[in-house]
Amino acid sequence: MDGCSNPKSSGAATAAESSKPRVPQRGAAKVAPAMLALMKRPPRGAILADVNGTPRIVMRDADGLLSVVAFEVDHGLITAIHSIPNPEKLQHVTAPF
| Residue 63 domain-assigned (yes or no) | yes
| Residue 91 domain-assigned (yes or no) | no
Contact call for residues 69 and 83 (beta carbons, < 8 A): yes
10 Å CB burial of residue 92 (0-12, 13-18, 19+) is exposed
- Residue 86, CA distances (Å) to 20, 43, 45, 70 in order: 14, 16, 17, 14
User: Could you give the number of structural domains in the chain?
Assistant: 1
| Residue 11 domain-assigned (yes or no) | yes
d(CA 72, CA 43): 21
Q: What is the pLDDT of residue 12?
A: 47
| Residue 29 domain-assigned (yes or no) | yes
Q: What is the mean pLDDT of each run of 10 residues along the chain (97 residues)?
A: 51 50 77 77 85 86 83 85 81 74
Q: What's the domain range around 36?
A: 4-84
| Residue 90 domain-assigned (yes or no) | no
Q: What is the dihedral of CA 72, 11, 22, 74, to 10 degrees?
A: 0
| Residue 55 domain-assigned (yes or no) | yes
| Residue 48 domain-assigned (yes or no) | yes
Q: What is the pLDDT of residue 29?
A: 84
| Residue 94 domain-assigned (yes or no) | no
